Amino acid sequence: MNNLGILFPILLSDVLNPVLFAFMIYAVGSKRPVITSSAMLLGHTTAYMTCGVLLAYTIEKLSDRLANPQFIDFVIEFVVAIALLWLVLRTRKDKGKRPDEQTPEFTVGKAFAFGAVINLIGIPFAVPYFAAIDQLLKSDLDTAGVVIALVAYNLAYALPFALIPVLTMVMGDRSKPILARVNGFMEKASDIIMPVLLLAIGLALLVDSVWYFVHGVSFF
């Protein structure tokens, strides 16, 4: 299947990450808000992209060792679909832990490491990202193409969060009430929009994988 159009709604659901947004606003409260929040985003994105490349490489190697790698691709798609639907049903989700009002003093290195740790803790639950990787592996892209697509995906993922240090640099303390309002919107949007997106993506992947199991061809 070479239909990568589903990557956009997957990316949209992935970007609705109130936890990362809240921690970046947390970093804005430090003595060097622009550098600290930028370092945190860079650490998070670097870890996310590295995990994605490693995961894609592992799945690709596993597929190469099996008699029917295409079948394995659709098994992965089926598992991801079930996981997405499970996330939708988990309505009593824990709200992401909010940072306290007191902001620790981050060095650039600590902020980078903290961003990476936030990502690594959340990776097991990054089901939209797994769905994106699965779609890339099922496409006609070669290895270099998959890596380039993953880099582009991660840059697109990081772009909205990059507005935090940019806004802070341009507006200074005047940006804080704006960021607080956006943070509130992100939390509400993730509660309303994300279940709808995850449901739509999960159902699409489920139909595609089951159709393949029954008919031997992809639905999309």
Each residue of 131-168: pLDDT tens digit? Answer: 888 888 878 788 888 889 999 999 999 998 998 899 88
* Separation of alpha carbons 39 and 108, rounded Å: 6
Q: Look at residue 171 and tell me if it is in a domain.
A: yes
Closest CA to 203 of 76, 72, 74, 78: 78
Would residue 136 count as lying in a domain?
A: yes
- Residue 208 falls inside a structural domain: yes
Domain assignment present for 16: yes
Domain assignment present for residue 204? The answer is: yes
> Is pLDDT of 129 > 80?
yes
Work out how many domains the chain is built from and give that number: 1
Domain of residue 108, residue span:
7-215
Task: Report the distance separating Cα 14 and Cα 17, nearest Å.
Answer: 7
Q: Answer yes or no: is 1 within a domain.
A: no
| Residue 203 within any structural domain of the chain | yes
Tell me the per-residue pLDDT of 11-48, one tens digit each, with 9 for 90 and over. 888 887 777 888 888 788 778 888 988 999 999 999 99
What are 112's two structure tokens?
A: 């980078």
Q: Does 2 map to a domain?
A: no
